[in-house]
């Protein structure tokens, strides 16, 4: 419900693809595949949901801050993003450009 309310407040429309339409969710599907291969299947079995939730938080931190990504010069994604915004100060994030998301 909160997600739908935030979209409405921002004047945005949820993007929902039709069955078999991979254009809207290709990035999410690619990330889910990596997540399952690198964490869920390789580090399980899990004793419980708490163990998986903690491992997920660690994985996301690693993925964004320490994982070296070949398509962006073998640097972590967070470093790439920081560099971009230092060199493009006029560029803004969606949250910064939409008052209702502050």
| Tokens, residue 7 | 């979209």
Evaluate whether 7 touches 98 at the Cβ level (below 8 Å). no
What are the residue boundaries of the structural domains of the chain, listed by start? 30-101
Q: Pick the residue with more confidence: 5 or 51? A: 51
pLDDT digits (tens, 9 = 90+) for 10-25: 776 655 555 555 555 7
Average pLDDT, integer, range 80-99: 76
What pLDDT is recorded for position 50?
A: 93
- The Cα 64–Cα 81 span in angstroms is 10
SS3 for 69? strand
pLDDT over 60 (residue 1): no
Helices assigned H by DSSP within the chain: 2-10, 26-35, 41-43, 49-65, 77-87, 94-97
């Amino acid at each position: 419900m909160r997600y739908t309310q935030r979209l409405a407040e921002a004047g945005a429309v949820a993007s929902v693809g039709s069955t078999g339409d991979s254009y809207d969710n290709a990035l999410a599907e690619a990330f889910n595949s990596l997540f399952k291969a690198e964490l869920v299947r390789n580090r399980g079995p899990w004793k419980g949901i708490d163990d998986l939730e903690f491992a997920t938080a660690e994985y996301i931190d690693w993925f964004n801050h320490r994982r070296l990504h070949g398509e962006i010069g073998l640097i972590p994604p967070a470093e790439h993003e920081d560099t971009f915004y230092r060199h493009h100060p006029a560029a803004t994030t969606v949250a910064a450009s939409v008052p209702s998301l502050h």
